[in-house]
């Protein structure tokens, strides 16, 4: 009897210690003043409420749980003038909890800062659709799964946010910048665009770094974009920013096709599109490409959409198209280099609204469409002082006849079927059918072609 009782006592003590060793979610104050409340919901998920009322000093909170714990919400009520800073993580500094469904500053009147948030799985996922994060600033995030609901940064920046899954919600940063958003999967989906807004409110408005396998998003930056990249696929949606500038890499680097309208004022960083600019897409640079030594645009496949440089493609800067141009290239002043390594098709158009002082090069027999200089019919007419090279044929003002522009004598058949013209156009006598000066007997079905 005594031996059995002893065994029962040992077992009971073991169970007691086992129960106390269970890693419940805890919330502690690591500095400053405030209060914490942690409760377990009937679902087994955890609810954390952090309160700060004293303005004597900032307060820092640490919320920890097991890697299997789901936090239903972290609510921060800060009615003081000083900052409430919160870290949410797993049992060690490098672990995450299973999931955080909602982190919110609720109706706080004082600033709420996310020092760090770590999850093994998803961020977001509340049944009510509440934002996954709503705070004044976010310094650090490591999300092991998908981001399921919106991330709202109200007055500061999103500094360092890495997602191992997909980012399937909207991102709004108001008053700060997006310093780093690195997503292993996709931003948005092929069936649904998300929005990424980086809006200046006194300061900020810069996107320094966004990278994902694919991007399906409408992106807006009040100021500049330093780097946006897809690592494997398409960029679909739109991008509006003041300029591509800053940083040390390409401003836009798309591994697949560009299926997004892009509108910027200036390009000071290289642009690389590994796929095509798709039909119906417009890439617009309202002013210049570019003043510094890094501005260039490369399309490493077809151009079926429209590429517009409203200002100047600056001297020694390059616009490079590796494959066919079936769409439109519209340039204000071409002082740099436009290189088309394949065909400017019969539907393709290069319109230089002002002067061509740089160079256009097209593959041999590749000019099936049109290159027009002074296409804008400007009050001060544009001039053709540069060169247009098709294979080994060079057309320009310094060339000998029949290659001397603007009224060269080379037949369109030698160029690929197309032509280069300085508006208003002059008749190309030798390219007419029949050629100028030839005699022809007319009958009711006779056709005459006049080419300019």
In a domain, 435, yes or no: no
Mean model confidence pLDDT for the chain: 91
DSSP 405: S
In a domain, 54, yes or no: yes
Give the model's pLDDT for residue 46.
Answer: 98
- List all residues 6 or more positions away from 5 whose beta carbon is below 8 Å from its beta carbon: none
Give pTM, 2 decimals: 0.88
Residue 108's domain comprises 25-149
Give the model's pLDDT for residue 3.
Answer: 44
Q: Are 88 and 115 in contact (CB under 8 A)?
A: no
C-alpha distances out from residue 11 to 22, 222, 272, Å: 17, 65, 67
- The continuous run of DSSP H or E covering 187 comes out as strand 186-187
Pairing of strands 359-362, 328-334: unpaired
In a domain, 319, yes or no: no
> Could you tell me the sign of the dihedral formed by the alpha carbons of 251, 253, 257, 259, in that order?
negative
Q: Which residues of 159-195 are buried (b: 16+ CB within 10 A; e: fewer)?
A: bbbebbbbbbbbbbbbbbbbbbbebebbbbeeeebbb
In a domain, 276, yes or no: no
In a domain, 270, yes or no: no
pLDDT in tens, 382-412: 999 999 999 999 999 999 999 999 999 999 9
pLDDT in tens, 4-56: 444 433 333 333 333 333 458 999 999 999 999 999 998 999 999 999 998 88
More confident call, 59 vs 203? 59
- List all residues 6 or more positions away from 298 whose beta carbon is below 8 Å from its beta carbon: 270, 271, 272, 273, 318, 320, 322
In a domain, 308, yes or no: no
Give the model's pLDDT for residue 247.
Answer: 85
Dihedral angle computed from the Cα positions of residues 258, 263, 264 and 268, in that order, rounded to the nearest 10 degrees: 20
Residue 360, pLDDT > 50, answer yes
Give the model's pLDDT for residue 225.
Answer: 97
In a domain, 336, yes or no: no
Residue 358, pLDDT > 50, answer yes
Give the model's pLDDT for residue 424.
Answer: 83
Residue 330, pLDDT > 90, answer yes
C-alpha distances out from residue 444 to 202, 441, 447, 448, Å: 74, 10, 9, 12
Q: Per the structure, how many domains does the chain have?
A: 1
Q: Are 221 and 246 in contact (CB under 8 A)?
A: no
pLDDT in tens, 112-166: 999 999 999 999 999 999 999 999 999 999 999 999 999 999 999 999 999 999 9
Give the model's pLDDT for residue 98.
Answer: 98
- The continuous run of DSSP H or E covering 86 comes out as strand 84-89
Spacing of C-alpha 123 from chain mean position: 22
pLDDT in tens, 407-446: 999 999 999 999 999 998 766 667 667 675 666 666 767 6
Strand blocks (E) in 277-380: 282-285, 296-299, 306-313, 318-321, 328-334, 337-340, 349-352, 359-362, 370-373
In a domain, 71, yes or no: yes
Beta bridge partners of 241: none
Per-residue tokens: 291: 């003043």
**Residue whose C-alpha is closest to residue 342's, from 372, 301, 394:** 301
pLDDT in tens, 266-293: 999 999 999 999 999 999 999 988 756 6
């Amino acid at each position: 009897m005594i031996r059995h009782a002893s065994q029962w006592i040992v077992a009971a003590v073991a169970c007691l210690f086992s129960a106390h060793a269970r890693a419940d979610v805890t919330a502690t104050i690591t500095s400053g003043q405030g209060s914490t409340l942690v409760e377990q919901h009937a679902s087994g998920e955890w609810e954390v409420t952090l309160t700060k009322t004293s303005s004597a000093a900032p307060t820092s909170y640490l919320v920890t749980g097991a890697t299997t714990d789901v936090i239903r919400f972290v609510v921060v009520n800060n009615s003081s003038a000083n900052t409430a800073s919160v870290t949410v993580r797993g049992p060690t500094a490098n672990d995450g909890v299973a999931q955080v469904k909602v982190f919110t500053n609720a109706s706080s009147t004082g600033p709420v800062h996310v020092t760090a948030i770590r999850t093994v799985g998803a961020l977001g996922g509340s049944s009510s659709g509440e934002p996954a994060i709503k705070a004044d600033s976010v310094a650090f995030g490591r999300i092991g799964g998908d981001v399921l609901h919106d991330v709202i940064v109200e007055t500061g920046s999103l500094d360092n946010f890495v997602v191992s899954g997909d980012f399937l919600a909207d991102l709004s940063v108001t008053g700060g910048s997006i310093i780093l958003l690195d997503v292993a999967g996709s931003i948005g989906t092929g069936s649904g665009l998300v929005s990424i807004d980086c809006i200046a409110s006194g300061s900020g408005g810069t996107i320094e770094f966004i990278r994902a396998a694919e991007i399906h998003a409408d992106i807006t930056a009040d100021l500049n974009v330093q780097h946006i990249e897809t690592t494997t696929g398409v960029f679909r949606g739109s991008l509006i920013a003041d300029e591509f500038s800053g940083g040390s890499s390409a401003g836009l680097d798309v591994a697949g096709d560009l299926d997004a309208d892009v509108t910027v004022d200036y390009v000071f960083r290289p642009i690389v599109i590994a796929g095509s600019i798709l039909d119906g897409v417009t890439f617009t640079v309202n002013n210049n490409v570019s003043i510094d030594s890094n501005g260039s645009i490369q399309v490493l496949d077809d151009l079926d959409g429209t590429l517009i440089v409203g200002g100047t493609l600056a001297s020694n800067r390059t616009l490079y198209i590796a494959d066919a141009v079936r769409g439109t290239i519209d340039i204000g002043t071409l002082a740099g280099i436009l290189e088309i390594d394949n065909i400017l098709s019969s539907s393709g158009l290069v319109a230089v609204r002002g002067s061509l002082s740089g160079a256009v090069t097209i593959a041999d027999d590749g000019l099936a469409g049109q290159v027009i200089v002074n296409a804008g019919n400007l009050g001060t007419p544009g001039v053709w002082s540069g060169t247009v090279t098709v294979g080994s044929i060079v057309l320009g003002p310094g060339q000998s006849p029949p290659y001397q522009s603007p009224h060269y004598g080379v037949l369109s058949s030698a160029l690929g079927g197309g032509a280069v013209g300085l508006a208003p156009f002059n008749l190309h006598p030798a390219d007419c059918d029949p050629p100028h000066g030839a005699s022809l007997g007319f009958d009711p079905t006779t056709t005459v072609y006049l080419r300019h």
